[in-house]
Structure 1
């Protein structure tokens, strides 16, 4: 007797014995012995909205509202729903969810196409934003755009329903993307700041404070001839925020200490750093301390200084400002750096944008300046002629 006739007569055929039946993951989940139904659903990856509602002990409509944001859901209830989704490996149908809520549940992250490579901090920002977006059921799409058309493209992106809001990275002090999004009244958050960010949502590094700290540490060690190596001149000319604010912070720090500034732009390459090391060594009065806010140039700078016979830190001290966390491990000696918290910035930016979208939070209330943490290396020491506390004999006698 065939399996089909066995079934008709009341006997129970095994899954996979039906003629023409393939052992699909749903069948396997429902019939696997010795495991709870929810566990089998999770293993098969076939959970439904009804399964999530059952696990969270809520109505199916509550699961739907939690996903779509169409109606408010109590925070504790939403937490239970999201926990159930994670436990069951529930993957909502993005197209259906978008149709129901008129949302794409996608955040667009955009940055201009620079001639130089993106630094590690930018990748950290992307990682932090992606993780935070995923926690709330959103995807992150990265869109590098030509600067001349970026504003119009971003507006079209949101209006065509391809993204619900925009995260702007590598912001200029007079950024055309910001102007276009403001005119169109579309939701966005800046990772960076314009010249006047009043009323706008942003997260940025406190460059002025960070560079002042670096100069202050060198000053404490007795250094009085302190140079600054910043971003490429092209970035300063276009008003790229870090290039402008880092240099401004250095000039202010030197002025506050009545010191003569010695600032340089430098292309973002080890070769440019080596060339600048030769230039510094050839000065009639070379600096004894250097603040470098250019990771790629820093790699060449240390090698170049030592090639010129300058020992780091015995003859000259170097500190990296707003640097990637791994930079110090790539240099000899290990560079002391102040690490930009890229992941934390990316997460804050995504969280702020979601609050603007889902909770209608005022962008003016979504802003944060972050400080950089010091990663100790071996590139800092007292200025030549100063003691371990940084005191010069001349300063001791006058005190």
Structure 2
């Protein structure tokens, strides 16, 4: 494998000149730069991100971290990762997904940045109280939250507008005449741990129901089809069984629909179902196709990476970047008018 020294010999220049050409730290003549590029191509030299950043004391690497508890990552999270990788690459950076234990995550992230291993951090799956945020803020190090804490004032963040998305879903069911609307949320462990979307989804539903003078019926559910199937049998009994349900848990939604079929209930004739903060892929997997609200995960990831790089380059201040992203509706066949009461 070719090295920077090999490139320098092939181009008949000093090693430091190759370094300057890569980092841009000092001007290199157009003719010399072209000669270095030709040498790199002929030797198939791939500049190491760390070596490229030595002169500028930059690793040209961004770290992306998640909490260790089971978040049952859906398609949106993988879209965020993919978008962040593309956004970083557009600016000559690399993205490293960095697993850390929760107890020491804040200290380890501070060490990663201070040691020069990474230049900044993208925090995903942010809690309403998040020790990673506290540690990086105290150390005055660069980071962007994909999500947000309870009070994100002055902190760079981009997040899905979960509350609005859930309210819109409840509102659409209400418009269709439903007055018994249930909410199936994330696992109880996530809400207890303060995981932002789990907390905001539940709270958003309670506000949406009470503002329309509805009796709330919210259930946490493990992120498995089996748990969703069991929940269907628990909820759809008695005279107050819901005629509409908002599901913010993709895997549970699959089981929920299967459980309704087990009980002889038809969607949407007997029960209407909408997937909140979900994906078109989920809708395509169900019968009937589930109506979902989809967050643009790839756009979110790309925007977060670009914001972090702008902060690193002193082109933006963290307090300048705060954005809530709306979900778009992907139409399916799972919504219909509330069924008429049986005489």
Deviation of 1:117 after TM superposition, in Å, equals 3.5
Per-residue displacement from partner, 1:82-109 (whole Å, max 9, x unpaired)?
xx99xx8985443432211100000000
Counterpart for residue 137 of structure 2: 182
The answer on whether the counterparts of 1:227 and 1:287 sit within 8 Å (CA) in structure 2 is yes
Which residue pairs with 2:303 in the alignment? 348
Match of 2:227 in 1: 272
- Partner residue, 1:236: 191
Q: 1:101 to 1:112 in 2, by over 3 A?
A: same
Structure 2 CA distance for aligned equivalents of residues 47 and 279 of structure 1 = 69
Distance of 1:248 and 1:227 partners within structure 2: 13
1:141/1:348 CA distance change after superposition, 3 Å:
same
What's the offset of the Cα at 1:360? 4.2
Larger Rg: 1
Shift of 1:71: 8.6
Residue correspondence of structure 1 range 153-302 to structure 2 within 5 A: 153-302=108-257
Gaps of 5+ in 1: 1-23, 26-45, 52-59, 73-80, 387-399
Aligned partner of 1:378 in structure 2 is 333
| Residue 95 to residue 196, structure 1, CA distance change in 2 (3 Å) | closer
Match of 2:31 in 1: none
Q: Distance in 2 between matches of 1:341 and 1:362?
A: 24
Q: Which runs of 4+ in 1 moved over 4 A?
A: 67-72, 88-91
CA distance in 2, matches of 1:69, 1:214: 51
Q: What residue in structure 2 maps to residue 394 of structure 1?
A: none
How far is 1:120 from its partner?
1.4
Kept in 2: contact 1:69–1:358 (CA 8 A)? no
Please state how far the C-alpha of 1:113 moved relative to its aligned partner. 1.7
CA gap of 1:71–1:189, structure 2 versus 1, over 3 A, is farther
Query: Residue 357 of structure 1 aligns with which residue?
Result: 312
Instruction: Specify the alignment match of 1:139 in structure 2.
Output: 94
Query: What do the CA deviations read for 1:105-145 (whole angstroms, capped 9, x no partner)?
Result: 00000001223532211111000000010111100000121
Higher relative contact order (CA 8 A, sep 6+): 2
CA contact (8 A) 1:320 1:337 kept: yes
Is the 1:170–1:241 contact (alpha carbons within 8 Å) kept by the matching residues of 2? yes
Deviation at 1:260, TM superposition (A): 1.1
Which residue of 265, 286, 289 corresponds with 1:331? 286
Matches within 5 A, 1:37-56: none
CA deviation map 1:181-224 (0-9, x unaligned): 00111100000000000000000011111111101110111111
Given the superposition, is the C-alpha separation of residues 234 and 283 from structure 1 closer, same or farther in structure 2, using an over 3 Å criterion? farther
1:106: which partner in 2?
61
Distance 2:7 2:126 in 1: 41
SS in 2 for 1:355: helix
Identify the residue that residue 54 of structure 1 maps to in structure 2: none
Distance 1:71 1:124, change over 3 A: farther
Note if 1:94 corresponds to 2:49.
Answer: yes
Aligned residues of 2:71 and 2:190 also touching (Cα < 8 A): no
Between the two proteins, the alignment pairs up a number of residues equal to: 321
Query: How far apart are the structure 2 equivalents of 1:329 and 1:162?
Result: 41
Instruction: Answer yes or no: is 1:368 the counterpart of 2:338.
Output: no
Q: What secondary structure, in the 3-state scheme, does the structure 2 residue paired with 1:109 have?
A: strand
Instruction: Judge conservation of contact 1:336–1:376 (CA < 8 Å) in 2.
Output: yes
